Amino acid sequence: MGRLSTSDLRGVFGFLGEAVLGTPNDPIPRPTLVALARLLDADESEYFELRRADRAVLGASTSHEFEDAPGTEEALAVFGGQNPLNWRRWHPAHGALRLSAVTRRRELTRLGFYDAYMRPNRLRDTLKVWLSSSERSAACVQLWRRDGEFTRHEQDVLAVLQQHLIGMRERARANAAPPRGGRGLTVREAEVLTWAARGESDAAIGARLSLSPSTVGKHLEHAYAALGVHSRAEALSRLMMESEDRPA
């Protein structure tokens, strides 16, 4: 994998700040998909969940309203299985995937999937990540680009976001606020967490607050438990998502 710059991380955190909580019927809603398309310079991003038994749509949302070319549904029904990133073949453990990295352009253009679906809809490349895969269904987020191919760098950015997207979907489907272990944060826990979210080490936080590094670690453990997370990054993501949920 490559390296991400400070600018990339600002973009990732900016997206997490824009992402909104979905519902059980719309777990990755349009505002979140719009922000993701903007971050990765995609023409369109979409979320879908399909039932494995009969390909029935269990959930779907898109960043933009595009009018599909005539015969699109029929093309997917007939040639969808030829898609090198077919939803039946992959699962979350594969991470973020680029169509242009999985198959060569020459091989792609020979497929009925390309000729019947991609070419009529003027689609050049896709970037895709799985959020769930079970015997019952598979759920994905994918982005499309019309005039160029996605880069390995953009693939790496999406890989960073995979677990965040999975968490967004799970939280929306649960239709519940983040677990808090039956209590909120103490003032000290909140104080320690705010410094941790700013990138301060346990030692630096301890020096600021006259605490030992081990005590700082304990406060962070309790804060993570109260928020239902396991790391500083998850805690920051959860807090940013909550701020978006509050009414103005």
Mean pLDDT, rounded, of the chain = 87
pLDDT(102) > 90: yes
What is the rounded CA–CA span in Å between residue 32 and residue 111?
32
Q: Are strands 137-145 and 44-51 parallel, antiparallel or unpaired?
A: antiparallel
| In contact, 18 and 29? CB cutoff 8 Å | no
pLDDT tens for each residue of 22-79: 998 899 999 999 999 999 999 999 999 999 988 889 999 999 887 889 999 899 889 9
Confidence of residue 238 (pLDDT cuts 50, 70, 90): low
pTM for the full model? 0.71
**pLDDT surpasses 70 at 177:** no
**Whether the Cβ atoms of residue 26 and residue 246 lie closer than 8 Å to each other:** no
Task: Tell me what pLDDT residue 240 has.
Answer: 62
pLDDT class of 239 with cuts at 50, 70, 90 = low
pLDDT in tens, 200-223: 899 999 998 899 999 998 888 888
Domains, in order of start, for the chain = 6-174 (3.30.450.40), 187-245 (1.10.10.10)
pLDDT over threshold 90, residue 189: no
pLDDT band at 162 (very low <50, low <70, confident <90, very high): very high
- How far from each other are the two terminal CA atoms of the chain, in whole angstroms? 40
Structure tokens at 26: 């719309």
> Is the torsion defined by CA of 100, 102, 106, 108 positive or negative?
negative
Phi, psi (deg, nearest 5) at residue 230: -130, 0
| Percent of the chain as helix, strand, coil, to the nearest 5 | 50, 15, 35
- pLDDT for residue 184: 67
Mean pLDDT lowest for which of 7-21, 36-50, 112-126?
7-21
CB 223 within 8 A of CB 185: yes
Would you state the pLDDT for residue 1? 56
